[in-house]
Each structure stands twice: as C-alpha cells, then as structure tokens.
Structure 1
Amino acid sequence: MPESAAATPLHIIVLVKWVPDYQLERRIAEDQRIDRSGGVLSELDEYPLEAALQIREATERPVRVTALTVGPAGASAAAKKALQIGADDAFHLNDDALAGADVAATSTALRAAVEQAFASGDEDTEADAEAARLVLTGMASDDGETSAVPAQLAERLGVSLVTQATGISVEGEAVVVDRISASEQQKVRAGLPAVLSVTDQANDPRYPNFKAIMAAKKKPTTTWALADLGLSAADVASKTQVATADPRPPREAGEIITDDGEAGKKIVEFLAKERVL
C-alpha cells in the first residue's frame, strides 16, 4: 500500500482518434459518411499525449500512460503512433455498431472503455486499483470538431471536468490546470479522478525516434468489441443520423481588380457589397 499521496501511482488515459488525412481530399462514401479508408492520428490528440508524457517525466511516482482509441480496424494506426510517441500500452474499441456514431454514442462507449482500461492493471499487484486516475483529450477532433466528447464523458463517469487546458501539473490527489476562457487566463484545481481537454497551446508534441519506434513493437495493444465491455448495439445507438451529404461545390473564381487609378474605390465598393465593411 502506498504510504502517501505523493507515492500513489497515477494512471493517465489519453483519448486518441484516427481521422481522415487532412492532406488528402475528403470523400463521402455511399453510406453518406466520410471515407475513412486512409487516416492518421488526429494532430490535436498529440497535445494531450505530450502533456501526459511530461507529467510522467516530472514526477518520481509511478505513472502509466495508456492510449485509448475508438474506430474501425484502421484506427489501430492511431494507437500504434501513440505507442511510438511514448504511451505504455493501448486499447482499441472496434465494433461495426459504432460506425458513424454521434457524440452521445461515442461518449457512452468511451465511458465503458475508460472504466475497463482503468481496471486493467497488473493482476499481481494492487497498484492500479490504488492509482489516481486522469483522462486527457484533445480540444476537438480534426474531423467532427464538436468539442463535446470531454464534457459528456466526464458527466457519464461522474468526475470533474476542466476544458481548454494550457498547462497541467498533478499534485497528490489533485490536478492543477492553467486554462484559457473567453477573456481571461485561469488557474483551477480539481480533485482526481478528472477529465481534461488540452489545447494546442499547451506544448510542442515530440516526434518518435527510431528507438521509440522499435520499442513500441513490444508494447501491448488490446482490442475490444462492445460485448467485451458489457455493451450492445442498442446501448450505443446514435440519436442523430446523417440524412444527406454532398461534396462542397467548387469555389467560384474571385473578382480581379486592376489598378487604373480607381482600384481603392472599387475595393471599398466590393467590400461594402459583401457586407464586410
């Protein structure tokens, strides 16, 4: 048994998402959903992962960093990338019933997955059962961009929520967070367990080196279906459905103004017409 809060192990779960590669043109599949045949780890999820690694490096207490992803088979690439960057282990929830899941369905599945991941410690010790627990997410996903999952997940888990984190430190059984609001910078303190969303201003994510890439091959990744978490397809039925989806129309050619001495006047007239002024 740990003798003090400072010696209590800390288990951090970082949610990582496999999203369409932003460098490629996004396509809509026949089922009215985004074609996810090619994807990458969401760039915004690298910031909470880096925050977790910095917490681990800044303390002498045992810290376990777990990557958790939900998605089709290809999402394992996001988990693999997280392991290469520095996560200790990874979990992948893959079930056809989650295809096209909305925020409510996603947060329902994530609640069960987070609880299962927290309970998946070393069976030979009580370390994980005694560990302080923290969930980190990105400020949004690169595809959906709702920013609603952290709040819904915290509510379903019944734990504290802090959003827009730009700095994080763990002090015993609490987390101290620098965060930004609409008009001010705040420092808040929340007891653990907690869910934090981390902004892209929090840090500079690291790149995996060759040694880390090779070490990641020996790190465990566990794949679950909904049934492994005690859930059914009905439990994660989406409350919203996409009725139609069409490609964005091509951008029309802009208006070219040639400076014949009246260019300034023409620009002002154009901006006024577009109601920019």
Structure 2
Amino acid sequence: MADSWLTEVPEMSRRDLLAIRQTLDGAYRNFSREYGEGIEAFFDPLLHFLVWFEDLLLATPWWLVIAVLAGIAYLASRSWKLPTAVVVSFTLIAYLGMWEDTMSTMSIILVCTLVAIGVGVPIGIAMSKSNRTQAMVTPLLDIMQTMPAFVYLIPVVMLLGIGKIPGVIAVVIYAIPPVIRLTNLGIRLVDKDVLEAATAYGANGFQRLFQIQLPLAMPTIMAGINQTIMMALAMVVIASMIGVSGLGQPVLKSITNQYFTLGLLNGLAIVVIAIIFDRVSQSYAKRSQQHLKGGDHD
C-alpha cells in the first residue's frame, strides 16, 4: 500500500509539471501572436539606425575607417602605440578579406553597447539611490549572468523571429549586467564628504549627480562598459545562429563544415576587435581618472 502511494506521487508531480509547462507555453505563444507585431514595430527605429550605420561603415573607404579608428585610439590613449596597433590589425583584416564581416560585427557591437549604456546607466543610478531598487534588481542581474547564453535566444526568436533586432536584443540582455552593476558601485563609492560639501555649497540632487557623482564614478562606469563590450563580442557567434551577420557567420559555418582556417581567422578577428576595444576603453578610463586626480597627461 505504501509502495503504491510512493509511485503515485511522482506520477502526479510529472502530470502537474507537464500541465504547468503547457500552460506557460500556450500563454507565451498567445502573447507573441497578440503583441509580437507591436513589439517589432517599437524596435523599427533601432533597426533602421543599425542598418544605416552598417551601410555607412561598408560604404566608407576602408582607409578612412581605419584612420578614424586610429584617431579615436589616439584621443583615448594619447600614445601612438595603440593607433599603430589599430592600423596594422585592421589593414590585415582587410587584406585577408574579412572587412565586410568585421564592419557588420562592429556595427552590431557599437549599437548594442549604446543601447546597453542608455538602459543600464539609468538603472544603475536608480540602484545607487535606493536600497530597495538594488534589492529588486540584483537578483535579476544574478539570473541574467548565470543563464546560459543560448537560452536568451529562445524567447526572443519565438517573439520576433530571426534577424538583426532579435540578435541585438539577445546581445543586450546578455551583456548589460556589468554596466548596471558598476554604475551602481561607482556612484555608491563616491566620498560622502564630497557630497556633503557640495550640498553645503547649495548644489541640488541633479547637480550632485551630473557634476560630482558621475564624473567621479566614470572610471568604474567605464570598466562596466568595457566588460559589456567584451560580453557582447562573446555573444556574436551565438547570435549568428539567428541571422545576425558579421564574423560570427563564418565561424558558425566553419563549425558545421569543419573549415579550420576560416574559423581560426574570423575568430582571431573577433579577438583583435575585443583587444582594441578593451585597450581604448581602459585608456580612456585611466586618462579620465588622472584628470580627476589632477595628474599629468602624456
């Protein structure tokens, strides 16, 4: 009698679990059918901007793109070593026939980074101003950072299909936690004595945030942006599975067809972009920190 009861309980649990899963799947399908077109229309401006920016990079002469990137690298580092590395790396990428895929990848990464900054920094500011908000958002960030990358593709593809915008959304969701966390951390680490002095001189909350807290927290925020860029680049290959163009497509092709050289070269191109973006953002963060401390510039 006891044995039969023990065998019935798991069977009932399995039936209940199956019913819950079917209910949730049906609810999400109904949601995607009812609101999918509206959500897609909401992201149309972002799609147009992404397509325009990608077309701009592809239409611009390769030497001009490299010159602009080298100029940005010099402004960030005030050293010729990083611009030289930019020129050599991107010239080699163009020579090896990976220029178009590289520009597509850069357009995706830059747009995703801008979206992540535009969404993540305000959330980080809100977390720094309220312990309750921090307590609510932190578990969500923990889930986002521990969830396998492939899982992000499932709800996005079911809702919006395949294409650039689903890829951008998946990349942003995967890459946004660092900029949120480090914006919150950077603002909370600002010296309270400095804030009290600003308040004593009549600064309001808006002035304290934009003239004191954000500038002092900028090195930490830049570290978060740096990590967001790295995570976005890591997601490029996975996002290529849902139609995102760029260096991820040849890597995926090389995996399915065992093209070792194709995968190696495009993988190295992704590494080069990651290193350059990392060095540029770190150099800018160091220079901004030196400026705040009154240090000398190179």
Name which structure has the greater RCO, CA cutoff 8 Å, separation 6+.
Answer: 1
Q: TM-score, normalised by structure 1?
A: 0.23
Q: Which has the higher helix share?
A: 2
Q: TM-score, normalised by structure 2?
A: 0.22
Q: Give the greater-gyration-radius structure (CA).
A: 2
